[in-house]
Structure 1
């Protein structure tokens, strides 16, 4: 099975939930300590955008025993992600110094998550839990002090809350909503390029939802700001958690009411219309000019693939 086969249409990365989040256990410190001490407990160890993995003959293993995680230098504070088959799964961070020490070892690696996911190295059914671990570890690393009074806050509720001992403010992890959309005009779709994209890659336009803004308004605003295209008939498709650092990609489609593109060069390197034949070749990685669509692990691929598939099944 290829990496592309790991993410069939409608199933991008980070959406398959195989954990019972067991939120009722988060306030039971004694129960969590018992689960953490059980030999079946496991952990994902996150370092920035990478995972600490155990190198084995059959490939890297991301799900570590807690003894392995601590031996590798992971921080002792654990975030309770949930239960898998009754066994607890935790998320753990690791310092830069400890991660650097691992680089000299042959039995362990610190490997970038996105690359492993795109290559199918990590089983797709583990990616949701890994995304949770990565987002939560990053949140704790960035929010160690109370935003209200500046006092060092403390992790509580199995890692799902931080409490300020001074002003008693409670802090909870956040997810940033992002709209990502495929805009079409008849048999054409609008795609854009950012400077950091791989050579030849084009993808759907996207942007953060602003304060007090609806999803529909965000879609229309972002499309117009980045490409000068006005659109209507905004419809929802699906969402994808995106742990960079902690977003929720809200997949939508919309219909353009004009076709004259005016690219915002501060946001995009370029934007252009593609017909359905070109889009099909790009998804298959068969475009004669080497152009390609987004990788199947990203929701953008599935927005484009759904449009191509629906168009190919139209009568006549």
Structure 2
């Protein structure tokens, strides 16, 4: 019997191998003694990190090149295979060459290159990294964004000091401790009510997106709201349709700047008219399984869809949306 579809792969930015348990970052003696053998992940002012051309690992630096002890702005990321990893601000040295690479959504981007190192961003190139590097890069970016917004106490407005090697701050005036914040957001693949997994999926596009870019619907969880209620509300608000049979699929950190995407599937009646939210959703439409498969098999090139006037590009590989759509499109196909 056909079963409801499940994610067939781990979302790109959910991959990680590094041990980041709290007992590691609250043990100063251990961390300081291991600093000479540690490695550092650099992030520039646009949150890009170096990767050697043709490789799938972040190009880390030796910790000792930054001093005998961790600098004040060093953030501990975790331990893997006997090596501690940290993050520090950094930038390409010298005048970089700009090279053109295909990034997220198939868009061509200009990437700084110094020697054999490309400075890439997480959203466009995180899917090309190995599991360890993807996890390190994702964690480093999430903590970087949090620290940029955690310089002052939320209780009294006093300045803060980093503690726990970057995993908390303490107010210099009132002593209040704060920890990295994560904003939950739902992302839902809505399909029609035909059979177990439906035959059509609901896709939409925002006005600011390039023409032809479509994805599943998403939105932030509000105060006092369950995840399931958020799914129902967001789909109603953004597409003007009711959903049921809401079920959880999986999750992925999305540090742009500090979200976690919680993936769901749900059903809706495809015969009812859609009412896209004015100013937020430019277009919402039902797309067949065959059209979604054609988009996956196009190599990132736009493919025509049923209305004859539109073409479609699916989300980039870094997003859980792509994993969700791929799982749905090839459900029960044996692929």
TM-score relative to the length of structure 1: 0.84
For the pair 1:271 / 2:267, whether they are aligned, the reply is: no
User: Aligned ranges for residues 135-174 of structure 1 at < 5 Å?
Assistant: 135-174=142-181
C-alpha deviation, 1:75, in angstroms: 6.7
Alpha-carbon contact 2:254-2:261 (below 8 Å) kept? yes
Match of 1:91 among 83, 87, 92: 87
1:301 maps to what in 2? 322
Alpha-carbon contact 2:43-2:87 (below 8 Å) kept? yes
Alpha-carbon contact 1:102-1:109 (below 8 Å) kept? no
2:103 maps to what in 1? none
For the pair 1:215 / 2:227, whether they are aligned, the reply is: yes
Give the direction of change, closer, same or farther, for the CA distance of 1:267–1:101 in structure 2 (3 Å limit).
farther
- 1:308 & 1:110 partners in 2: Cα distance? 34
Give the direction of change, closer, same or farther, for the CA distance of 1:155–1:245 in structure 2 (3 Å limit).
same
Give the direction of change, closer, same or farther, for the CA distance of 1:276–1:109 in structure 2 (3 Å limit).
closer
2:214 maps to what in 1? 202
C-alpha deviation, 1:42, in angstroms: 1.0
2:255 maps to what in 1? 243
- 1:144 & 1:69 partners in 2: Cα distance? 27
- 1:284 & 1:302 partners in 2: Cα distance? 14
Give the direction of change, closer, same or farther, for the CA distance of 1:278–1:55 in structure 2 (3 Å limit).
closer
1:261 maps to what in 2? 274
C-alpha deviation, 1:312, in angstroms: 4.0
Give the direction of change, closer, same or farther, for the CA distance of 1:79–1:309 in structure 2 (3 Å limit).
same
1:126 maps to what in 2? 133
1:113 maps to what in 2? 122
Give the direction of change, closer, same or farther, for the CA distance of 1:297–1:63 in structure 2 (3 Å limit).
same
Give the direction of change, closer, same or farther, for the CA distance of 1:298–1:60 in structure 2 (3 Å limit).
closer
For the pair 1:65 / 2:61, whether they are aligned, the reply is: yes
For the pair 1:229 / 2:236, whether they are aligned, the reply is: no
1:210-267 CA distance string (max 9 Å, x none): 1110011000101010110111110000001111112111000111146310111321
Alpha-carbon contact 2:52-2:59 (below 8 Å) kept? no
- 2:73 & 2:94 partners in 1: Cα distance? 20
Alpha-carbon contact 2:11-2:251 (below 8 Å) kept? no
Alpha-carbon contact 1:75-1:93 (below 8 Å) kept? no
C-alpha deviation, 1:162, in angstroms: 0.3
Alpha-carbon contact 2:253-2:259 (below 8 Å) kept? yes
C-alpha deviation, 1:166, in angstroms: 1.3
Q: RMSD value over aligned CA atoms? A: 2.7
Long gaps (5+) in structure 1: 1-7
Give the direction of change, closer, same or farther, for the CA distance of 1:137–1:276 in structure 2 (3 Å limit).
same
2:26 maps to what in 1? 27
Alpha-carbon contact 2:274-2:285 (below 8 Å) kept? yes
C-alpha deviation, 1:25, in angstroms: 2.1
- 2:60 & 2:169 partners in 1: Cα distance? 26
Long gaps (5+) in structure 2: 1-6, 98-112, 306-310
1:80 maps to what in 2? 76
